[in-house]
Amino acid sequence: MGCKQTDNVGAYVGRRLSDEQREKYEIHLQNCVRCRSEVKIFSKIKEVLKTRPLYSIPKDAPKIDVVDRTLATIHAIEQDPKYLKLVAKHGSEEKVPEADYMKIAKKYFNKK
Ligand SMILES: [Zn+2]
């Protein structure tokens, strides 16, 4: 029961899809249980991350390590003052240009 579009889940939850991509993906979500459940899991973890400080995530966290780290990174980016400024400038998170987002994201993804 694989779905190639599960690759979009992270970007979708992290709000990195363009308006058009998001709309398309949301239509897909209505028909794909697999993606829906992944979105649910990602959203849940993202929510949890928002309620606890980043440093509470153990560096060698087991099992969902990759997901946890990815979402921790997304979370960290969303807290970045530069990112928040961009969001304010563009009116919403969805409108922040990919290039600008990546400039900020780079710093976090390169961090060990
Ligand atoms: Zn799917």
Q: 65-79 vs 98-109: helix axis angle to the nearest 10?
A: 120
- The alpha carbon of 104 and the centre of ligand 1 are apart by a number of angstroms equal to 29
- The alpha carbon of 53 and the centre of ligand 1 are apart by a number of angstroms equal to 31
- The alpha carbon of 33 and the centre of ligand 1 are apart by a number of angstroms equal to 7
* pLDDT at res. 1: 47
- The alpha carbon of 81 and the centre of ligand 1 are apart by a number of angstroms equal to 33
Residuewise pLDDT in 10s, the chain (112 residues): 468 888 888 889 888 899 999 999 999 999 888 888 888 888 877 777 776 655 555 666 555 556 666 777 777 888 889 989 988 998 887 778 878 888 887 777 665 4
* pLDDT at res. 99: 81
* pLDDT at res. 65: 59
Using alpha carbons, list the distances in angstroms from residue 1 to 18, 33, 73. Answer: 27, 10, 29
* pLDDT at res. 112: 46
- The alpha carbon of 27 and the centre of ligand 1 are apart by a number of angstroms equal to 10
Kindly list the protein residues that place their beta carbon closer than 5 angstroms to ligand 1, a single-atom ion: 3, 5, 32, 34-35
d(CA 48, CA 53): 10
